[in-house]
Amino acid sequence: MFTKLKAYLDSVKARDPAPRSRWEVMLYPGVLALGLHRVAHWLFNAKLFFLARFVNHFSRLLTAIDIHPGAKIGKNFFIDHGFTVIGETAEIGDNVTIYQCVTLGGTNPTNGKGGKRHPTVCDNVIIGSGAQVIGPITVGERARIGANAVVMEEVPAGATMVAIKARSTLVPAEEWMKEFIPYGTPLAMQCEDEEGNKVDCIEKLQGELAEMKQEIASLKAASVPAEPDTIQASFDLGKRSGTAD
C-alpha cells in the first residue's frame, strides 16, 4: 500500500515542479479528492449510495472538487488545483492530468434512461484549465485538450484539441509527443510550408516575420528622397546637356 502511495506521489511531483516533498503533495486538494473518491467509489459499488454521496459531498466541501462516486478512475490521476467536476459515468485511464475548472460533463438523456452520459478519457491525456468535455465521447490516448476548449466529439489518439467548439490542430495524431507537456498545450506545433514539408510553426512565423522586415527596409530605402547635392548635380548635368544642344 505504502509503495503504491509513494509511486503515486512521485508521479505527481514529476508533473508539478512546485512541491518540495511528498508530504506537501499529500496536502494537494486533487490528491485529497482522489483519496476520498476511492472510499466513495468502494461504497458506491457496495450499493451504499447514501454513504458514498456523503463522502462525495464532504470531499467537495473540503477540496472544491466534485467527483461522482460512480466515476471510474485509473492509476496516477492528478487534478492540479481544484474546481473540477467529474460525472457519474466518466471513465478515466492511467496517468491522466487535469488542471483547474475542468468539467467532464454529461448529456441530458432524452429517452429517460441514464446510460453512458460522460466521457471516457484514455491513458496519458492532459486536459487544460477551463476545458469542457461533454457527452459519452472518447478522448484517445496521449491527447491534449487546450485551455477553455469545448469538446463534444471523439478525439483521436495523440491529437491536440483547441478552441470553441474544439477542433484538432495540424499536429497529426500519429506523431505523439512522448514527454509530459504542462497545461495540455505543446510549445512547438508543426505546420506545412508551400512544398508540403513539415516545419515548426514558430520557426515558420519567425522566418516570415524576418522576410517582412527585409521588404519593409527595402521599401523605406527606395522611398528616401535624394540628397540636395545629388539633386544639384543632376540639375547642372541637365543644363550642360541643354547648352551642348
Answer for the pair 143, 122: CB distance below 8 angstroms, yes or no. Answer: yes
User: pLDDT digits over 137-175, tens only?
Assistant: 999 999 999 999 999 999 999 999 988 887 666 555 545
pLDDT 10s digits, 84-102: 999 999 999 999 999 999 9
Three-state SS letters, 68-99? CCCCEECCCCEECCCCCEECCCCEECCCCEEC
- Higher-pLDDT residue of 209 and 103 is 103
Number of residues in the chain: 245
Q: What is the pLDDT of residue 236?
A: 64
The three grid cell numbers given for residue 162, joined into one nine-digit string: 483547441
The pLDDT-based confidence of 245 (bands split at 50, 70, 90) is very low
- Mean pLDDT within 61-81: 96
For residue 221, the model assigns a pLDDT of 84
Per-residue confidence (pLDDT) for residue 244, from 0 to 100 = 46
pLDDT higher than threshold 60 for residue 28: yes
